[in-house]
Amino acid sequence: MSLLFKSRMSQASNTDTSLVMTWYFIVLNIMRQGVHSLGEIWRTTTASMMTVAVLGVSLTLPTTLYLVVKNVQQVSSGFENASEISLFVKQGLPDKETKSLVKRLKLYPEISDVTYISNEVALEEFKQVSGFGQALDYLDSNPLPSVISVTPTKRHSKPETARKLLIKLESEREIDFGKLDIEWLERLNALLSLLRESVITIAFLLLTSVILIIGNTIRLSIMDKKEEIQVMKLVGATNQFIQTPFLWTGIWYGIIGGFFAYICIELMMWWLGSAISEVAGVYQAEFLLQGLSFFEFTNLIVLAVLLGLFGSYLSVKRYIKTIEPDKI
Amino acid sequence: MINFQQVSKTYPGGHTALEKVDFHLKTGELAFLTGHSGAGKSTLLKLISVMERPSAGNVMINGVDLNSISKTQVPFVRRDIGMIFQNHRLLARHNVFDNVALPLVIEGMHRKNITKRVHAALDKVGLLNKVKCYPETLSGGEQQRVGIARAIVNSPPILLADEPTGNLDPELSWEILKLFEDFNRHGTTVLIATHDLGLIARMKYHNLTLNKGKLLLDPLKADIS
C-alpha cells in the first residue's frame, strides 16, 4: 500500500489480494530470510562457531549436573525400601517379658519376620568382630541392649509406611527406641535436593551469560552491517524487515549450540560409560548410565533456541532503530 | 507533486541550512537543484525523503503533509521515492542483481516478478550483462547506473538524485542525464541536485538555485509554469 499515492498499489500485492496469499508470502519471506541468515553464518564460520561453542559449553555444564542428579536418583530409588527396623529393648527387662514381646510382634500384620538378638549374643558377636576380645571380659555388666530386628512386609517397607510402623512399635512398653535403616537414604535425598538447587542456580547464571554473549555478538554484527542497514532504510525497509535476519541468526545459534551441547554430553557419557560399569561390577550391581531422553533433548534444543532468540532480540531492539541514514 | 511551503531547517547547534524555502514542483516535471556546497541542497533532498524534519513550514508530497507522517510510516514514504546518490551506496557484499532487487525484496514481491523487473531495470541502464558482477568490479559510471536501476526498479513516481554525475566525466554525465530525461518522459517527477552548471546550461529545465539556504529567483520559471 502506498501512503502518498492512493492509486499506486504496492508492487507486491497487486496480483494477490486474498488474505491467505498475503500471509503465505509473509511466511515465505520470513523462511527465505531464515535460510539466508544460515548462509550468512556459513560465510563467517569462525566467528559464528565461537559463539556457538560458548553457547554449547554453557548448556553442557548444567545439563551434565542434571544428568548426575537424575542418575543418582535412579541409584537411590533401588534402595528406597526399608529392609529392617531395629528395636532396642529396655535394659534390665526380664527374659520372659522379652519373649512375649517377640511373640506379640510376630502377630503384627505389617511384619513379615522377627529376629531376636539377646544382649549376650550381641556381646559375643561384638567380641569376635571388634577384636577387643579379652578386654571386654573386664566389664562388670553387659552394656549392650537386646535387639529385635524386624522386617516389614513389602507393603509396609516404603519410607512413610515404615516410619508409621516404627512409631507404632516404639509405643510398645518394653521398647526403648527404634531405628529405621533408611535414614542414610534421607540424608542422601537431602544432599540430592541441595545439588538440584545448585544446578538451577548455576544454570541460571550460565544461561544469563549466554543471553549476554549472544546479544553482544549480534550487536557486533549489526554494527558491522551499519552501512547496509542505512541503505536498506533508504530504500524503504522497515525495522521489522531489517531485524528478521538478526533474529534468525540468534535462532540458528541456539539450534547449533544445542546440538553442540548434546554431542558434548554424548561424548562424555561414552567416555564415562566404561568406568561406571567397572564400578558397578565391583559392587555387583546392575547399573545403566542414563542419558538424555528424547523429550529432554527437545527441551534442551528449545531452551537453546529461546536463549538465542532472546539474546538477539535484546540487541536488535536496542540498536537497529538507532541506525539512521543521516548522511547522503 | 513536491510542494515546499515556507520551509526552514535549523540544525541543532544553530546552523541554518534552509530558510523559508518555497517552491512547487509539478507532476511529471524535471528540475535541477543547484548551488554551492553547503547551500542546503542535501538538506532539501533529505526533507523530501524524511531523513530530516523541517524546523518550520510544511513539505507536501502529492498533497500529503510529511509532518503528519509518523516514524513507522517513513519507510513507506521512501518506497515511493527513488533515490540516487553520488557515492552510489551499493551493498558491496551483494551482486548487481541483489542490489537492484533490494527495494522489491523489501516490499515482499514474489521471486518470479523480481527477476523480471530487475532485468527490465538493468536493461534500461544498459547493464544486463553485469547481473552477476559485484559492485567493486564495475567502473564508476557502471556503479552509478546500478544505483539508478535500483532507484527505478519499483517505478516510483518521484526520483531524487544527489550529485549523480559528481565523479563522472562529461560524456558519462551526459549519458546519465539522458537516462533521467527518459524516465521523466515516462511521467516520473525528477529532481536532480548538482553543481555541474555546464551540464544544465545545455538543457532547458526548471532550475532551483539555493544560496546560503535561500532560494534564488529562477530565470526559467516564467517559461515553464
Which residue of chain A comes nearest to B98, CA vs CA? A232
In this structure, are B218 and B133 located in the same domain? no
In this structure, are B174 and B112 located in the same domain? no
| Contact in structure between A9 and A1 (CB atoms under 8 Å) | yes
Compute CA B23 distance to the chain's CA centroid, rounded to the nearest angstrom.
17
User: pLDDT of B51-63, one tens digit each?
Assistant: 989 999 999 998 8
pLDDT value at residue B164: 87
Q: What share of chain A is helix, strand, coil (3-state, %, to 5)?
A: 70, 5, 25
Which residue range forms the structural domain that includes residue B102?
91-155
A135 closest CA partner among A147, A145, A146, A123: A123
Highest-pLDDT range among A199-203, A293-297, B209-213: A293-297
Q: Is residue B188 part of a domain?
A: yes
Binary contact (B108, A26; C-beta < 8 A)? yes
Distance CA A232, CA A235 (A): 5
Gap from B59 CA to chain A (nearest CA, Å): 12
In this structure, are B220 and B111 located in the same domain? no
Q: Which of B71, B104, B109, B153 to mutate to test the interface with A (most CBs of A within 10 A)?
A: B109
**Nearest CB partner across the interface for A328, out of B42, B69, B108:** B42
Q: What is the CATH number of domain A85-181?
A: 3.30.70.3040
Q: Where are the domains of chain A?
A: 30-78+187-322, 85-181
Binary contact (B106, A241; C-beta < 8 A)? yes
User: pLDDT of B24-54, one tens digit each?
Assistant: 888 888 999 988 888 888 889 999 999 989 9
User: pLDDT of A83-96, one tens digit each?
Assistant: 678 888 888 778 88
Rg over CA atoms, chain B? 17
Binary contact (B80, A3; C-beta < 8 A)? yes
Residues of B in contact with A236 (CB under 8 A): 75-79, 103, 106-107
In this structure, are B203 and B142 located in the same domain? no
In this structure, are B66 and B11 located in the same domain? yes
> Is A157 a residue whose pLDDT tops 80?
no
| Contact in structure between B50 and B74 (CB atoms under 8 Å) | yes
Which residue of chain B comes nearest to A244, CA vs CA? B106
ipTM at complex level: 0.88
Q: Is residue B85 part of a domain?
A: no
pLDDT value at residue A7: 65
> Is B220 a residue whose pLDDT tops 80?
no
User: Residue type at A313?
Assistant: Y
Distance CA A33, CA B106 (A): 11
Beta bridge partners of A275: none
Compute CA A29 distance to the chain's CA centroid, rounded to the nearest angstrom.
38
Binary contact (B72, A238; C-beta < 8 A)? yes
- % of chain A surpassing 70 pLDDT: 92
Residues of B in contact with A232 (CB under 8 A): 102, 106
Residues of B in contact with A234 (CB under 8 A): 49, 78, 83, 89
In this structure, are B68 and B176 located in the same domain? yes
Stretch B165-188: mean pLDDT: 86
Dihedral sign, CA of B72, B73, B76, B81?
A: negative
pLDDT value at residue A33: 82
In this structure, are B66 and B96 located in the same domain? no
- % of chain A surpassing 90 pLDDT: 22
Distance CA A113, CA B192 (A): 105
Gap from B107 CA to chain A (nearest CA, Å): 6
In this structure, are B143 and B33 located in the same domain? no
C-alpha cell at A233: 532504510
Number of domains in chain B: 2
Picking from A129-133, B97-101, B163-167, B196-200, which range would have the lowest pLDDT averaged per residue?
Answer: A129-133
Chain B within 8 Å of A25 (Cβ-Cβ)?
A: yes
> Is A182 a residue whose pLDDT tops 80?
no
What's the full length of chain A, in residues?
328
Picking from A99-113, A153-167, A196-210, B107-121, which range would have the lowest pLDDT averaged per residue?
Answer: A153-167
Last residue of a domain, one of B109, B132, B155: B155
Chain B contact residues (CB < 8 Å to A)? 42, 45-46, 49, 51, 61-62, 64, 69, 72-73, 75-80, 83, 85-86, 89-91, 93, 102-104, 106-110, 113, 117, 150, 154-155, 157, 162
Picking from A34-38, A324-328, B136-140, B170-174, which range would have the lowest pLDDT averaged per residue?
Answer: A324-328
Q: Which of A3, A22, A230, A241 to mutate to test the interface with B (most CBs of B within 10 A)?
A: A3
A16 closest CA partner among B114, B76, B79, B108: B108
Distance CA A215, CA A208 (A): 11
Last residue of a domain, one of B102, B137, B155: B155
Residues of A in contact with B42 (CB under 8 A): 328
C-alpha cell at A79: 534402595
> Is B6 a residue whose pLDDT tops 60?
yes
Last residue of a domain, one of B111, B127, B155: B155
B57 three-class SS: strand
In this structure, are B71 and B164 located in the same domain? yes
Binary contact (A234, B79; C-beta < 8 A)? no
Average pLDDT, whole number, for chain B? Answer: 87
Burial class (CB in 10 A: 0-12, 13-18, 19+), B30: buried
Q: Is residue B106 part of a domain?
A: yes
C-alpha cell at A308: 538465542
pLDDT value at residue B174: 85
> Is A1 a residue whose pLDDT tops 70?
no
Provide the CATH number for the domain around residue B45: 3.40.50.300
Distance CA A322, CA B101 (A): 25
For residues B114 and A156, the model is more confident at B114
